[in-house]
């Protein structure tokens, strides 16, 4: 029998929660937290000079300056292939339309003489991180910067790793031009996150940092919660596909491979109640893997995070999905729409044969910055609200004090907070 590409996990006959049975393997790597902690401390203490040292160490070049001007971005937009420019513009418009739909009118509420209004205020500066190195991701520029613009953020800042010659790809610069990014810095990794959070001599700090990245980027964001706001811990990509005998194994394999080619640390899982389907998908994946140009990255993902999960039926398949809480879920089985209400833990759900997660990566308009590594249990896709604060404004009608003050005083006295109660007693005395 040929060697399987996907490790086989059989949970048929296993009742109840599948979280332990489908737990993700722990990566065998350096202590990411310790390495990131060191990088954050170096950048915080050394500023621009530390950034130059770290960029030389990790990216292979020593920059004199980090900023990439708006003129360079516009020039790149003019240089790139016109079809790419049109595709990026189409993607931007799709993303813009979807994220504008998330905006709502400021709500107001009045009861018992108390009027409460909620102000929605954008942060002053938003930092967007876009990965590089293994690939070029103009789509992630659009996915992070466009919602920030929709939210009304006055200053949108982008950090992206440069190649060893210090250049940022034209496609990335073109997307930055289309997204109207205010500042662009050629810095990557945990050091870029540190620079955005703490600020340096040449880079003012931001209020919120969003965007995907490798384990070091995700760990840097985690350690800096409280110094800045973050969207979620968006790390290496993962997908889970529910398939049955009606599914095309070549398409299932293609969609698994599409996420696996992002590289190490991610996940690519097919879940089915038909062992023949698992075998067919594995065979198709082996054929496609042999031909893909990014075979090394895809193989690394599949070796650590590739799995075929066997379950008893379609409903247990969704139990498995909810246990794994993947970034992307694809329902490529018969009557897929009927399963959507059962999905509770997922970054995004794609329904039907042609609704590939790749559609969400580029042009569906939904955001492709999604919770990964099981964090979809409590986190969501990047949204306009990730760039906004909600501030309550309270007013009291002149005649309402007599009715509401006794309630506030009673609660304050019960909690032993005398000054709280006195603040209300004084007001009632002044009214009488």
Computed over its alpha carbons, how large is the radius of gyration of the chain? 25
Cα gap 165→186, rounded to integer Å: 11
The Cα diameter of the chain in Å comes to 91
Helix (H) or strand (E) segment spanning residue 178: helix 170-178
| 328 is a catalytic site residue | yes
Which residue is listed with tokens 């590289």?
A: 263
Measured distance between the N- and C-terminal CA atoms of the chain, rounded to whole angstroms? 91
CB within 8 A of 424, min separation 6: which ones? 405, 408, 409, 412
Please tell me which residue in 183, 219, 261, 327 is annotated as part of the active site. 327
* Helix ranges, 66-132 (H): 70-79, 82-100
Please tell me which residue in 275, 328, 368, 392 is annotated as part of the active site. 328
Q: Tokens in use for 263?
A: 């590289």
Partners of 157 in beta bridges: 127, 183
Kindly report the number of other CB atoms within 10 A of residue 105's CB atom: 6
Kindly report the number of other CB atoms within 10 A of residue 419's CB atom: 7
Assess contact for 5 and 286: CB atoms under 8 A. yes
Cα gap 408→246, rounded to integer Å: 63
| 118 is a catalytic site residue | no
Is 161 strand, coil or helix?
coil
Cα gap 15→404, rounded to integer Å: 53
Q: Tokens in use for 87?
A: 């595709």
114 class by beta-carbon count within 10 Å (0-12 exposed, 13-18 middle, 19+ buried): middle
User: What positions carry a catalytic annotation?
Assistant: 327-328
């Amino acid at each position: 029998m040929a060697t399987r590409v996907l490790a086989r996990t059989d949970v048929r006959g296993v009742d109840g929660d599948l979280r332990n049975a489908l737990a993700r393997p722990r990566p065998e790597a350096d202590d990411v937290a310790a390495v990131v902690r060191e990088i954050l401390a170096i950048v915080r203490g050394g500023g621009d000079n530390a950034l130059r040292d770290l960029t030389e160490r990790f990216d292979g070049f020593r920059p004199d300056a980090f900023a990439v001007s708006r003129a360079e971005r516009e020039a790149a937009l003019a240089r790139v292939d016109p079809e790419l420019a049109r595709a990026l513009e189409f993607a931007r418009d799709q993303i813009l339309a979807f994220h504008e739909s998330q905006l709502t009118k400021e709500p107001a509420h009045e009861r018992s003489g108390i009027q409460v209004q909620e102000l929605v205020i954008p942060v002053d500066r938003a930092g967007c991180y876009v990965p590089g190195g293994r690939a070029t991701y103009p789509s992630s520029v659009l996915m992070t910067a466009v919602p920030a613009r929709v939210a009304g953020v006055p200053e949108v800042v982008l950090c992206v790793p440069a190649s060893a010659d210090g250049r940022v790809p034209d496609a990335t610069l073109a997307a930055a031009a289309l997204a109207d990014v205010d500042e662009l810095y050629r810095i990557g990794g945990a050091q870029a996150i540190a620079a955005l959070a703490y600020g340096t001599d040449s880079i003012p700090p931001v209020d919120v940092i969003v965007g995907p990245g490798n384990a070091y980027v995700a760990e840097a964001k985690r350690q800096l919660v409280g110094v800045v706001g973050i969207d979620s811990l968006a790390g290496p990509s993962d997908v889970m596909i529910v398939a049955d005998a009606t599914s095309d194994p070549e398409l299932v394999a293609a969609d698994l491979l599409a996420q696996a080619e992002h590289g190490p640390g991610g996940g690519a899982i097919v879940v089915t109640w038909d062992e023949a389907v698992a075998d067919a998908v594995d065979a198709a994946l082996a054929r496609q893997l042999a031909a893909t140009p990014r075979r090394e990255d895809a193989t690394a993902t599949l070796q650590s995070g590739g799995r075929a999960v066997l379950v008893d039926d379609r409903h247990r398949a969704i139990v498995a999905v909810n246990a794994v809480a993947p970034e992307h879920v694809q329902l490529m089985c018969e009557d897929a729409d009927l399963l959507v209400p059962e999905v509770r833990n997922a970054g995004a759900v794609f329904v039907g044969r042609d609704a590939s997660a790749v559609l969400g990566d580029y042009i569906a308009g939904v955001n492709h910055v999604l919770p990964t590594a099981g964090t979809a249990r409590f986190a969501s896709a990047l949204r306009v609200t990730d760039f906004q604060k909600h501030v309550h404004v309270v007013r009291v009608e002149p005649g309402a004090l007599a009715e509401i003050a006794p309630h506030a005083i009673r609660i304050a006295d019960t909690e032993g907070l005398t000054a709280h109660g006195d603040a209300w007693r004084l007001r009632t005395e002044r009214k009488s």
